[in-house]
């Protein structure tokens, strides 16, 4: 139990601070990044992706990328050092959000299931973010009910032929590669008929279409597969063991959770001080509540990192952080827009720093749905932590192709 760095951590912090100071971007870019919440984009998306890749490449070349990775794959197996580096990065740490799927989720799945040749070829490029990966899981009829994916992979000579559609795939428009969860056997119960693959996104028959969101940005995509061929060597895990592989992917997200905590009550306090609202008792009470909650979230991240670094399995921390943090983004954004008052209705065109609360306002609902909706997380907490019984569900025992679906109109 200590709030301060160990001597080893303090030395690393000093080294990281010096390196970041020498390698950070010009003031204009840094100012822009301070206002960058979630996927909210004061810069064009392509420019931000390029910066995220560039910053990661600088880190990689200096030995500071993928610090949480196992040593065998070029990491340092040190989530505590990664957390320290992120603290020192300040606004630059936001870039990690662009690389979470590539460097945590897809990488973890490859580490667990790819051949050693594949790992040797692919992982260093992932660590440097030379390659961006996407994770093709959700479908129009498989969101929270992820195991209901219908994208079909059928055996053909030397591999598999894939047809179907994925949706809400973050970063697919930037990705060179992706992992794919597909149905290989529709005649067994849903979790048993799935298999995990990976493929190049420029494979013939793959079409990526960005989806414009309410914020105007388009970081999510839908993907169509039309007779796409995947060699059997690009299968990850056994045939029919795709759910197990998907769980590896989803669990790896917890390693990155600290990098995705997009709540900043200190900025809101600044806003309240600037607008003068801080003299109001109700504002002080509300802000105090958020500050307390944010402190709780950050300490929760620290508890989780400590558990991981001590080789213990973390408890309910990850689900708690996502559940509490997601709602908080929506609440804080709405509250901040109210505090800005008239300007909340119409911000100045261009780079108004207060746009950050607009972006939070648009991003909050996505955050509450993505990577485990609030409802799914509550089921996880209730069933796996509290031990409450599962609901009676027909889909777990029926063959997938006999599970009731919405009538086709």
Partner 1 sequence: MRLSFSSDHQGLREEFEHVFAAEATSARARAGASSPEGWDRALWRQLSELGWLGVTASEAHGGLGQDPLALCLIAEAFGQRLAAIPFLGAALGFADALLTIGDRSLSDALAPGVVAGEVIGALAIPEHFTALDIDDGHASGACPALMDAAATTHILTLAGAGSDAQLILLDVTAAHRERIDSLDRVNLAWAVTFDRAPSRTLARGETASDLWRTLRARYATFMSFVQIGAASAALDMARDHVIQRYAFGRPLGSFQAVKHELADVLAAIEIARSNAWFAAAALNEGGSALAQAGAAARVSATDAHRLAARANVHLHGGLGVTAESDAHLHYRRAQALGLVIGPSSVWRERLIAELVAARAVAPAAPQLPRTGS
Residues annotated as catalytic (active site), given as ranges = 253
Q: Given candidates 22, 313, 346, 390, which one binds partner 1 under the rule CB under 8 A? A: 390
Are the C-beta atoms of residues 194 and 187 closer than 8 Å to each other? no
- The nearest distance, CB 299 to partner 1, in angstroms, is 4
Considering the rule CB under 8 A, would residue 7 count as an interface residue with partner 1?
Answer: no
Q: Is 388 exposed, middle or buried (0-12, 13-18, 19+ CB in 10 A)?
A: exposed
* Candidate segments 119-127, 156-164, 222-230, 280-288, binder of partner 1 by CB under 8 A: 280-288
How far apart are alpha carbons 229 and 73 in whole angstroms?
29
* Candidate segments 123-131, 205-213, 220-228, 319-327, binder of partner 1 by CB under 8 A: 319-327
Considering the rule CB under 8 A, would residue 1 count as an interface residue with partner 1?
Answer: yes
Considering the rule CB under 8 A, would residue 285 count as an interface residue with partner 1?
Answer: yes
Q: At what angle do helices 281-309 and 317-340 cross, to 10 degrees?
A: 150
* Candidate segments 187-195, 215-223, 242-250, 309-317, binder of partner 1 by CB under 8 A: 309-317
- The number of residues making up the chain comes to 409
CA dihedral 328, 330, 335, 339 (to 10 degrees): 120
Q: Residue 62 or 278: which CB sits closer to partner 1?
A: 278
- The nearest distance, CB 103 to partner 1, in angstroms, is 23
Site for partner 1 in 345-364 (CB under 8 A): 348, 352-354
Alpha carbon 286 to its chain's center: 29
* Candidate segments 29-37, 42-50, 192-200, 233-241, binder of partner 1 by CB under 8 A: 29-37
Considering the rule CB under 8 A, would residue 375 count as an interface residue with partner 1?
Answer: yes
Are the C-beta atoms of residues 68 and 105 closer than 8 Å to each other? no
Q: Given candidates 293, 326, 360, 362, which one binds partner 1 under the rule CB under 8 A? A: 293
Long-range contacts of 6-13 (CB under 8 A, 24+ apart): 9/80, 9/81, 9/84, 12/81, 12/84, 12/85, 13/84, 13/87, 13/88
Site for partner 1 in 35-94 (CB under 8 A): 35, 80, 83, 90-91
Considering the rule CB under 8 A, would residue 381 count as an interface residue with partner 1?
Answer: yes
How far apart are alpha carbons 112 and 87 in whole angstroms?
29
DSSP state of 181: E
Q: Residue 188 or 275: which CB sits closer to partner 1?
A: 275
Considering the rule CB under 8 A, would residue 388 count as an interface residue with partner 1?
Answer: yes
Considering the rule CB under 8 A, would residue 302 count as an interface residue with partner 1?
Answer: yes
Q: Given candidates 323, 333, 337, 360, which one binds partner 1 under the rule CB under 8 A? A: 323
DSSP state of 399: B
Considering the rule CB under 8 A, would residue 284 count as an interface residue with partner 1?
Answer: yes
Residue count, binding to partner 1 (CB under 8 A): 68
Q: Which two tokens stand for residue 316?
A: 């309910």
Residue partners of 364: CB distance under 8 A and separation at least 6: 326, 327, 329, 330, 333
Residue partners of 263: CB distance under 8 A and separation at least 6: 290, 293, 294, 297, 325, 328, 329, 332
How far apart are alpha carbons 281 and 296 in whole angstroms?
23
Considering the rule CB under 8 A, would residue 267 count as an interface residue with partner 1?
Answer: yes
Q: Given candidates 130, 187, 273, 276, which one binds partner 1 under the rule CB under 8 A? A: 273
Q: Residue 167 or 300: which CB sits closer to partner 1?
A: 300
Nearest one of 229, 92, 221 to 157, comparing CA atoms: 229
* Candidate segments 44-52, 227-235, 236-244, 320-328, binder of partner 1 by CB under 8 A: 320-328
- The nearest distance, CB 73 to partner 1, in angstroms, is 25
Nearest one of 240, 151, 190 to 402, comparing CA atoms: 190
How far apart are alpha carbons 348 and 328 in whole angstroms?
25
Q: Residue 213 or 324: which CB sits closer to partner 1?
A: 324
Beta bridge partners of 178: 134, 199
Q: Residue 103 or 320: which CB sits closer to partner 1?
A: 320
Q: Which two tokens stand for residue 263?
A: 């709540």
Q: Residue 290 or 362: which CB sits closer to partner 1?
A: 290
Note the residues at the interface with partner 1 (CB under 8 A): 1-4, 6, 31, 34-35, 80, 83, 90-91, 266-267, 269-271, 273-274, 278, 281, 284-285, 287-289, 291-293, 295-300, 302-303, 306-307, 309-310, 315-317, 319-320, 323-324, 343, 348, 352-354, 375, 377-379, 381-383, 385-392
């Amino acid at each position: 139990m200590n709030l301060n760095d160990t001597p080893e951590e303090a030395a690393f912090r000093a080294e990281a601070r010096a390196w970041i100071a020498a390698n950070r971007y010009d003031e204009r870019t840094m100012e822009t990044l301070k206002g960058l919440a979630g996927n909210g984009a004061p810069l064009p998306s392509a420019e931000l992706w390029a910066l995220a890749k560039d910053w990661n490449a600088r880190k990689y070349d200096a030995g500071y990328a993928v610090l949480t990775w196992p040593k065998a794959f070029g990491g340092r197996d040190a989530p505590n050092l990664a957390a320290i580096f992120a603290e020192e990065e300040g606004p630059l740490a936001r870039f990690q959000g662009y690389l979470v799927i590539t460097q945590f989720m897809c990488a973890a799945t490859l580490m667990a299931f790819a051949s050693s040749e594949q790992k040797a070829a692919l992982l260093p490029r992932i660590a440097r973010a030379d390659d961006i990966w996407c994770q093709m899981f959700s479908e129009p009829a498989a969101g929270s009910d992820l195991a209901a994916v219908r994208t079909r992979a059928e055996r053909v000579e030397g591999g598999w032929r894939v047809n179907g559609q994925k949706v809400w795939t973050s970063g697919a428009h930037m990705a060179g590669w992706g992992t794919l969860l597909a149905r290989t056997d529709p005649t067994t119960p849903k979790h048993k008929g799935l298999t995990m693959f990976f493929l190049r996104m420029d494979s013939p028959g793959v079409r990526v279409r960005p989806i414009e969101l309410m914020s105007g940005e388009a970081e999510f995509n839908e993907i169509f597969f039309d007779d796409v061929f995947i060699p059997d060597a690009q299968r990850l895990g056994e045939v029919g063991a795709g759910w197990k592989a998907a769980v590896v992917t989803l669990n790896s997200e917890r390693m990155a959770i600290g990098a995705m905590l997009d709540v900043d009550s200190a900025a809101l306090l600044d806003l309240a001080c600037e607008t003068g609202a801080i003299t109001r008792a109700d504002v002080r009470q509300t802000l105090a509540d958020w500050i307390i909650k944010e402190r709780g979230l950050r300490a929760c991240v620290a508890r989780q990192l400590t558990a991981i670094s001590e080789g213990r399995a973390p408890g309910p921390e990850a689900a708690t952080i996502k559940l509490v943090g997601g709602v908080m983004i929506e609440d804080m954004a709405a509250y901040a827009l109210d505090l800005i008052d008239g300007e909340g209705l119409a911000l100045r065109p261009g780079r108004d720093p207060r746009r950050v609360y607009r972006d939070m306002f648009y991003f909050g609902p996505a955050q509450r749905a993505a990577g485990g909706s609030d409802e799914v997380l509550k089921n996880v907490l209730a069933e796996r932590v509290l031990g409450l019984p599962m609901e009676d569900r027909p889909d777990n025992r029926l063959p997938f192709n006999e599970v009731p679906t919405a009538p086709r109109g």
